[in-house]
Amino acid sequence: MASGTIALAAALALSLTAFGTAIAQGITASKAMDAIARQPEAAGNIRGALVISLALMEALTIYGMLVAFMLVGKI
């Protein structure tokens, strides 16, 4: 019973972090493209900020994966 609960928690941890990150990255990229379309001369600055923010969002998914692996290790 406990191992099934831990497996479910691991699956939820990974799936929720991946889903949340995917939605956030999509919204962020969309807003960055809108900003570049409005001000093409600021494209370099916007692109730099976009890459940094996408990397930080991806780090959150990696933390979720780490938690899932730690939970699976308890089974």
The per-residue pLDDT for range 10-44, each reduced to its tens digit, is: 999 999 999 999 999 999 999 999 999 999 999 99
Both tokens of residue 37?
A: 């379309």
User: DSSP 3-state assignment of 3?
Assistant: helix
The residue with tokens 């900020």 is: 49
Buried/exposed 5-34: b ≥16 CB within 10 Å, e otherwise: eeeeebeebbeebeeebeeebeeeeeebee
Q: What is the pLDDT of residues 53-75, one digit of tens each?
A: 999 999 999 999 999 999 898 87
Locate the domains of the chain by residue range: 1-37
pTM for the whole structure: 0.80
Find tokens 């941890």 and name the residue.
13
